[in-house]
């Protein structure tokens, strides 16, 4: 009797047959999902600048450490491994918005040891050792 051709719901894996699109169950869900997705997208947009900094810094660090003059640690603190593994800020910037953060004159090659020793001593203040990211 019901001769109208029915298709499976557009939701993958849903066995409900519908004339088109989603079954009632998934129509509701898809509407909810859209709202959630929008909220998530807004959140993503909010943190994209932070992520951009992180990404840019990582790329910059990789380039920096490839330069011939940046093969060895310039800090030479007690226990130095001498192998340049991260970019050290000569004057620790207060945040990624601080012009000191991207100032090439404020960058030097550092080993992880010296960087963490220096980071610990400068953490007493408000500055955070951004180079910690490089340890991952
Ligand atoms: Zn469905
Ligand atoms: Zn060192």
Q: What is the pLDDT of residue 33?
A: 65
Residue 87 has pLDDT above 70, yes or no: yes
The rounded Å distance from CA 126 to ligand 2 centre is: 23
What is the whole-number distance in angstroms between the Cα of residue 3 and the centre of ligand 1?
20
Q: Which pair of structure tokens corresponds to residue 84?
A: 């340049």
Is residue 136 over pLDDT 60? no
Cα of 15 from ligand 1 centre, angstroms: 7
Token pair in block for residue 89 = 């800020």
Q: How far is CA 67 from CA 22, 83, 126, in A?
A: 57, 13, 31
Top pLDDT among 74 and 38 is at 74
**Spacing, Cα 121 to ligand 2 middle (Å):** 15
The pTM of the full predicted model, rounded to 2 decimals, is 0.54
Cα-to-centroid distance, 67 and ligand 1 (Å): 57
Domain map of the chain by residue range? 16-135
Residue 121 confidence (pLDDT) = 74
């Amino acid at each position: 009797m019901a001769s109208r051709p029915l298709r499976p719901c557009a939701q993958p894996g849903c066995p409900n047959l519908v004339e088109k699109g989603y079954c009632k169950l998934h129509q509701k869900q898809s509407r909810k999902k859209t709202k959630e997705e929008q909220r998530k997208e807004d959140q993503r947009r909010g943190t994209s600048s932070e992520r951009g900094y992180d990404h840019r810094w990582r790329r910059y660090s990789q380039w920096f450490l490839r330069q011939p003059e940046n093969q060895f640690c310039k800090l030479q603190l007690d226990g130095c491994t001498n192998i340049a593994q991260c970019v050290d800020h000569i004057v620790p910037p207060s945040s990624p918005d601080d012009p000191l953060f991207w100032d090439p004159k404020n960058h030097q090659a550092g080993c992880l040891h010296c960087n963490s020793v220096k980071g610990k001593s400068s953490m007493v203040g408000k500055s955070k050792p951004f180079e910690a990211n490089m340890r991952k």
